Amino acid sequence: MTALPSLNALRAFDAAGRRLSFRAAADEMGVTQGAVAQQVRQLEADLGIALFDRVPKGLVLTSAGRRYHKRIADAFSDLRAATAELKPEPGKVTISVTPTFASKWLIPNLPDFSEKHPEIDLRILATEKVSSFHSDGIDLAIRQGEPPFGAALNATLLFEQDVIAVAAPKLVESEQPSFGPQALSRLPKVHDTHDLWPKLLAELGLSDQNKRGLRLSQTALAVDAAVSGQGVALVSRFLVSGDIEAGNLSEICTLHDVSTQDFYLLSLRRSTPNAAIETVISWLTSRAKNVD
In tens, the pLDDT along 97-107 reads 999 999 999 99
Give the model confidence (pLDDT) of 232-254 as tens digits: 999 999 999 999 999 999 988 77
- List, as own/partner pairs, every contact residues 194-200 make where C-beta atoms lie below 8 angstroms and the sequence separation is at least 24, other chains included: 194/219, 194/234, 196/163, 196/234, 196/255, 196/258, 197/234, 199/255, 199/258, 200/165, 200/234, 200/253, 200/255
Task: List the chain residues with pLDDT less than 70.
Answer: 1-2, 85, 87-89, 174-181, 257-260, 271, 292
Q: Which residues pair with 234 in a beta bridge?
A: 165
DSSP labels for 144-158? EE-S---TTEEEEEE
CATH 3.40.50.10680 fits 92-161+261-289, yes or no: no
DSSP labels for 9-37? HHHHHHHHHHHS-HHHHHHHHTS-HHHHH
pLDDT on residue 1? 46
Give burial (CB, 10 Å; 0-12/13-18/19+) of 59: buried
Q: How far is CA 248 from CA 156, 157, 176, 262, in A?
A: 31, 28, 17, 25
Measured torsion, CA atoms of residues 237, 238, 239, 244, in degrees rounded to the nearest 10: 70
Taking each helix axis from N to C end, the angle separating 7-19 and 63-86, rounded to the nearest 10 degrees, works out to 110
Pick from 167, 161, 169, 163: which is nearest to 184 by CA? Answer: 167
Coil, helix or strand at residue 138: coil
pLDDT on residue 9? 95
Give the start-to-end residue ranges of the domains of the chain.
7-86, 92-161+261-289, 163-255
Same fold, 7-86 and 163-255: no
What is the distance between the alpha carbons of residues 145 and 97, in angstroms, rounded to a whole number?
13
**Amino acid identity at 146:** E
Residue 90 region, left (φ>0) first, then alpha (ψ -120 to 50), else beta? beta
Taking each helix axis from N to C end, the angle separating 107-116 and 275-289, rounded to the nearest 10 degrees, works out to 120
What is the distance between the alpha carbons of residues 116 and 110, in angstroms, rounded to a whole number?
10
Q: How far is CA 280 from CA 77, 143, 276, in A?
A: 24, 16, 6
Could you tell me the strand order of the sheet in which 213-215 lies? 213-215, 189-191, 232-236, 163-167, 250-255
With residue 199 as reference, give the H or E element that holds it: helix 197-204
CATH 3.40.190.290 fits 163-255, yes or no: yes
What is the distance between the alpha carbons of residues 23 and 40, in angstroms, rounded to a whole number?
13
What is the distance between the alpha carbons of residues 138 and 19, in angstroms, rounded to a whole number?
20
| The CATH classification of domain 7-86, taken from the options 1.10.10.10, 1.10.240.10, 2.130.10.10, 3.40.50.300 | 1.10.10.10
